[in-house]
Every structure is written in C-alpha cells, then in structure tokens.
Amino acid sequence: MAIEVKLPNLGEGVESGDIVDILVSEGDTIAKDQAIIDIETGKATMQVPSDFAGKVVKVHIKKGQTVKNGAVLLTLEGAAAGASAAPAKPAPAAEAPKAAPAPAKPAPQPAAPAPQPAAAKPAPVAPAPVKAVPAPQPVAQAPVATIAPAEEAAEYGDVAAGPAVRRFAREVGVDLSRVTGSGPGGRISREDVLAVVRAQSQGVGVNSSKTDAGSSARDNYGPIHVEKMTKIRKVIAAQMHKSWTTCPRVTNFDDADVTELEKIRVSSKDDYARKGIKLTSLPFVVKAVAMALKSHPTINASIDEDGEHIIFKDYVNVGIAVDTDRGLMVPSLRHPDTMSIPDVARALGTISENVRDGKITAADMQGSTFTISNLGAIGGTYSTPIINVPEVAILLVGRARKMPVVVNDEIVIRLMMPLSISYDHRLVDGGAAARFLNDVIDYLKSPSRLLLAP
C-alpha cells in the first residue's frame, strides 16, 4: 500500500516554502522522523521529517520548487513502510494487522531489493546530471525525478560538511564537491568555503555553475554576476517596504550612562563564564526594555490591519535582530520581564547558537511585541532603524564609548551607550517615546535595579 508523506503546516501565517535540499532519493529506506528535506520559508530554514517509515518509491518535488502546506513530498512503499515501522511502532494503525503476521520475513527482503533500484538507477541517470548541471536553465529540465536523486547523491554522498556549511555554500554559490576540507577527515568548514569565495573574487578559479554563469555576464561598465533572491530576502524586502509605506516613523536619539553597568559586567563575567554564560551588556538592555514596556503599554501594542483598533499586548516578547549571512533574522525572546539577568543571558546565547547552526524555526520568529537591534556588536553609534511591523517601536543600541559629561558642574569621563528609538507616530507620540526611553536609560544607569528584579 502506498503511503504519501505530505508537507506539514509550517507555522502561523506561513503557507508555503522553497525546497532547498532533498535529503533522500528514490530507492532509499527511511525511518520515521528522519529528515527528508530542507525547506526555506520567509522566516527560517528548517528540516522536515517524515511521518512514516518505508522505502521511497517516488520523489514528487525538486530543488527550488515552491510547495504549499499539505503538498505531497514522497510516496513510500507500503510493505516496506510496515516492515521498517514494526520495531518503532510508528506505522498507521490500519496497516498494523498486515505487519504483525510476518515481521521476520519482510525484514531481510527490503535489504535485497534496495540495492537493485540503487544499482539500476545510477547507470542510466549518471550521464544526465553531468550534462544537466552546466545547462543554462536546469530548472526547466523535465526529468526532475531522475535528476534530483543524482544531484543529492553527489552533494550528500561524498562531501563531509555540516548543514550550516552546506547552506552557506549554496548561498555564496560554491560547489562543495570541489572544495578541499581542512578539518578532521577532510571535513569542510565555513572558512574553507570562504577561502574559495576569496579566490573566486580574485579571479583564481570558479567552483560552481552558478558562478560560471555569472562571471561571464557583463553590463556596460564591467563584469557582473546575478543571483536569485532567496525567499527570506524577499520577505525582508517586502516587510521593509510595508513598514516604510504604511508606518509614519519618527526616531529619537539619546545616551545612557552605563559606567556602573560596565563595572558590574566586568567584575561578574568570569563567574558567568564558569557557568557557560557569556555576559555582555545586551542582557541588561533586554531586561531594561522588558521592564519599561510593562509601564508603557502603548509601546507594547499594535494597530490592526484596518486601522480601527489598538491591540494592547498583556505580555512582553522581545525580538532580537540578528545579522546573518542569509539576512536579518529576528527570533523572539519570550517573557524576558519574568527572567533574571543570568536567564536572559543564557537565553540569548541559545538564540545565537540556534541562528548560527540554522536551527531557528518559523515559530521562533513569531510573537515579538518590540524589537532590539544591537548595532554596537558590529560598530556604530546612532541610526534610524525601521520598525518591524506590526510592532510600533524598535530600539537600536550603538557601541558604548567614553565621553566627557558634566556631572555636578564637573566634567568627568563616563561610558555612554547611544540609543535610537524609532516609533510609529500613528500610535506613539513623541512624549510617550521619550518617557519610555527615559525609563530604559534609568534602568541602565542603575543596573542594581535590574539585578534585583525577578
């Protein structure tokens, strides 16, 4: 009996995604919960597992294809699915009576037929990908079902590289099969891919058909290369355009005296490090914002799409803008107002690790009520951040620097942190934004209030 593996719901407000990688081929025997594809939505790249175990008899999708929730991804062979599922009991209830009478006999049989499709397919298929890869329009190729497994075998069969490295290589147009890994056992690292990119930019060599095509193109002034915009970048562009055209934005600039905060951070960072926590100034900023939002409900609200109602959020979730190779991502930190500074620092570390390893899901990117963008981690002071609609405000944090400040009629050197808050002037007035920012500054100036907060 054939079993269809379908694309599950990708998250609230996400109706479709682009297939980035197909992790299985026709003829493969897969287990329940085994990852079968990498898919990119407008909010994250994630792996989709199979709901069933069995032998893959048909792959219905191809790389680069946009698929909707509920679309059929694979067809599994029913008999193989029942045999494979028997040890783990994940097979559908309807097939249980069939699998129970003869669990021992089907078990050795899948191993015997499995090599036959694998041996039969590569023979006729092997020449096809060699010609199809450099073709100008591979997406238009008709024999998708035969080309895709061959491509996957080449990409995943012989290359030693983690998912994050593979994803990065695709984004910069590097063919991993032509990269020599410097890690243990020839494993390819991100630095190995970057080395190839640098070599390409200097004209040393080319490692992918994508770059080959681009390197031969020219405009009126010199060589160019063209790349397809990723789904995430398209969503970022659409979101920024929506914010710019629908949200009348005003930005206030100010500075917070973080001299005392820095003393506490420096004196405590070693203790935190022994617990596996990296203590930066960002956890203090997040906690200060979260506490201030509780006293300023207008800043923690949104306007409905019809512009008729104000939606006040009785919870606080802070979006943390993270700069990645794939674009700006804003995972949501849930309820930081109820967390201690160590808990916030630990949660931020987990978010950074998940973003770096490509483990952020669509659900992780939703639900924020206010966003913080930490420009100081890169450098810079003030900016005019664009609001992450439907939120009504965003705070940009610059790099703290020592400045002469007048205190009690004397000029002293203080460590000042630049802050820029943009707000939706439809809902937030200048006075409301200034009062909110003053509360944030007061918390940062007296960090003991944050340390004593729950």
User: 139: which residues sit within 8 A by CB, 6+ positions away?
Assistant: 64
Scanning 248-302, the segments in alpha helix (DSSP H) are: 259-274, 282-295
Given the residues 60, 296, 335, 425, select the one marked as catalytic: 425
Displacement of CA 296 from its chain's centroid (Å): 30
The rounded distance, in Å, linking the Cα atoms of 240 and 249 is 12
The separation between the first and the last C-alpha atoms of the chain, rounded to the nearest angstrom, is 57
User: 420: which residues sit within 8 A by CB, 6+ positions away?
Assistant: 251, 252, 253, 382, 383, 384, 385, 395, 396, 398
Q: Is 425 a catalytic residue?
A: yes
The rounded distance, in Å, linking the Cα atoms of 197 and 203 is 10
The rounded distance, in Å, linking the Cα atoms of 191 and 379 is 23
Query: Which among 242, 243, 348, 247 is positioned nearest to 289, based on CA atoms?
Result: 348
The rounded distance, in Å, linking the Cα atoms of 203 and 243 is 40
Beta strands at 54-59 and 72-77: parallel, antiparallel or unpaired: antiparallel
Are the C-beta atoms of 370 and 376 separated by less than 8 Å?
no
Query: Which are the catalytic amino acids?
Result: 425
